[in-house]
Homo-oligomer: A and B are copies of this chain.
């Protein structure tokens, strides 16, 4: 890791490190004290900074009048703030006794990780797009700094992937990973897991893949993905706003989705049911101005119903091949590897190329009318053809000669027949 190293935590640091270490300890404590989505806590940290906020939230200290004013201005009114702050204090006190941020930092350090904070050079600046919803810090295991926003693509979808979902994820995400994009996902069963594994196998980005989990990084959830998540911790990057030991609740999953949306340059939804977490991620992304691409599927598949819903109800863009996926990422890089790689997706793009060489589609109106008047097996005379095509003889002859040059008409003894394109 470049810049301030959380690996220093637990070792004697020079005086220069001291203030930053205090901030890191405070943010580590906040990550355990505060449940994601706690707007009051976020206002307080924004108004007075993490160290003062922690002292006030745990009851070690009180807000000064000036601090109270700043928070109240952010919250809208003095009365609103006073009421919210009192309610917050009651929430935060339930966990205040449990805090041991130094132990958490040491535990993560031993697992090859630490806590990234906004004060670090290595902090992924794209998370600032979340505004007040920016996490207090980002626990990690693996290789930091995280990739830049223009080098990342989030791939999300249903836990129950169909064979179609598997196929399109392996193809589209495989090629995006081969093109150098780091693939961000949520580590879940189904589409998430397929996306991570495809990136691990075929990716060339640094890292190939990032998994953003809803619980602490000391436990690999879901358990069936223990091996895969271990591999991501070793060669990729695991991230969470929750401290070690935190369990992955439904509530935390929904808030976790905003981190997937904000970390990546764009989000692709590969399969999603009518109500699904993948749609939640897509909405987070659209809210902060990220492009969202959606893969359509059969309308008979409930696993594509959420994709179609996004296409109907939001400005998400339909994607049908690797090129349209890469186009989503701002400053997206060109496809690396052998030329024609993008053509490996056997749908739109290839169909376009096939159609482009259909010589009959390239005929102009005159040529087309003359060609249609010709028969493939019978030679017909010019007068007959003139009537059939509804064209005077000079125009007809022009058309016949152009068709002959294209190899589509053949003359014999002043009579003409059509030649089928090869």
Which A residues form the contact surface with B (CB < 8 A)? 34-35, 37-38, 90-95, 98, 164, 167-168, 247, 249-251, 273-275, 295-302, 304-305, 308-309, 311-312, 317-321, 345-348, 350-352, 354-355, 358, 360-361, 365, 368-369, 371-373, 386-395
Contacts and interface: CB of A to CB of B under 8 A. Distances in A.
A299 B300 contact: no
A297 B295 contact: no
3 nearest CB pairs, A to B:
A296-B296, A90-B392, A249-B372
A372 B95 CA distance: 16
A176 B316 CA distance: 28
Query: How many chain copies does the complex carry?
Result: 2
Given A309-B348, A318-B312, A351-B273, A300 B387 contact: no
A298 B155 CA distance: 18
Nearest to A276: B355
A392 B299 contact: no
Contact of A35 (B35, B305, B369, B386): B369
A68 to B, nearest CB: 21
Contacts of A296: 296-299, 304, 308, 311, 318
A345 B167 CA distance: 25
A44 to B, nearest CB: 15
Contacts of A354: 274
A369 B255 CA distance: 12
B302 A295 contact: no
Nearest to A352: B274
